[in-house]
Amino acid sequence: MSLLPIVYEDGEAIVIDKPAGLPIDPPRNGGTSLANYLESLKLGFQRPPTAVHRLDTDTSGCLLMARNPKALKRFAKAFEERQVEKVYVGILAGTVAEDEGEIALSLSKVSTKEAGWRMIAARKGKPSLTRWRKLAEQDGQTLIEFRPETGRTHQIRIHALAGLGAPLLGDPVYGNGKGAPRTMLHALSLKVEREGKPAIEAHAPLPADFARLGFALREGDG
């Protein structure tokens, strides 16, 4: 099993470029997950690193991992207190008239026997905020930069649909799952400030499946 791409590494942190299709947790029906790579990510340390946050199985890009319990606690607190700068890029299955803006919605989880669970915009839900910017448009699809200020489950996916009026391309839950083999969302970069140390700054290159759909990043994007 080949090593996952590492885009940042120091004594207390590793940031990997998680491939699309790799789940964080072992699937119930078996199969490969991040757990299969943990030993190879020790890189000389005694213990394997621990994922600090979540990325959906389909989402590629920057995943921060802590190399010891103290670092895990500090990094988790930084996420909880919104001290982490996160930048995502996604392809909308549609177009938007505006060039930039922000989406503020209260989100709730709903579940049905037929469709399973999903997030919806609901007054009684938890507040969520995403700032966004249009990067490119082609063939009725739009490349969007997302900067989530909060970290709700499926936040960008439901914000695309409910806030921008179009789901992410390939999203089987909030869209029709067509147009791409996966939900087209990529965690492009993250930055975590640290007291007394340089900030963790990581960038994961745009995956090839974005390029195959005709999208690329220009200098200054992200």
pLDDT at 119: 82
DSSP label at residue 119: E
CA distance 23 to 19: 9
CB 129 within 8 A of CB 107: no
Q: Is the pLDDT of residue 117 over 90?
A: no
Q: What is the mean pLDDT of residues 73-81?
A: 94
CA-closest candidate to residue 102, choices 76, 133, 80: 133
Specify whether the backbone of 184 is left (phi greater than 0), alpha (psi in -120 to 50) or beta.
beta
pLDDT at 116: 74
Q: What's the structural domain count of the chain?
A: 1
pLDDT at 222: 64
The answer as to whether 222 is a domain residue is: no
pLDDT at 77: 94
Secondary element (H or E) of residue 163: helix 155-164
Q: Which residues pair with 187 in a beta bridge?
A: 61, 88
Q: What angle do CA 201, 60, 31 make, to 5 degrees?
A: 125
The answer as to whether 93 is a domain residue is: yes
Active site residues: 56
Q: Is the pLDDT of residue 105 over 90?
A: yes
Q: Is the pLDDT of residue 182 over 80?
A: yes
Q: What is the mean pLDDT of residues 3-31?
A: 94
- Counting residues of the chain whose pLDDT is more than 70, the rounded percentage is 96
pLDDT at 68: 96
| 91, amino acid identity | I
The answer as to whether 54 is a domain residue is: yes
pLDDT band at 96 (very low <50, low <70, confident <90, very high): very high
The answer as to whether 217 is a domain residue is: no
Domain holding 58: CATH number? 3.30.2350.10
CA-closest candidate to residue 199, choices 34, 64, 61, 1: 64
The answer as to whether 128 is a domain residue is: yes
Q: What is the mean pLDDT of residues 148-154?
A: 92
State the residue range of the domain holding 20: 6-210
pLDDT at 86: 97
CB 183 within 8 A of CB 172: yes
CB 31 within 8 A of CB 66: no
- Give residue-wise pLDDT tens across range 45-60: 999 999 999 999 999 9
DSSP 66-85: ESSHHHHHHHHHHHHTT-EE
CA distance 103 to 96: 13
The answer as to whether 90 is a domain residue is: yes
pLDDT at 123: 84
The answer as to whether 122 is a domain residue is: yes
**CB count, 10 Å around CB of 184?**
29
| 161, amino acid identity | L
pLDDT at 2: 57
Secondary element (H or E) of residue 90: strand 84-92
What average pLDDT is seen over the chain?
93
pLDDT at 110: 85
Q: What is the mean pLDDT of residues 173-195?
A: 96
- pTM, two decimal places: 0.94
CB 23 within 8 A of CB 34: yes
The answer as to whether 1 is a domain residue is: no
pLDDT at 220: 65
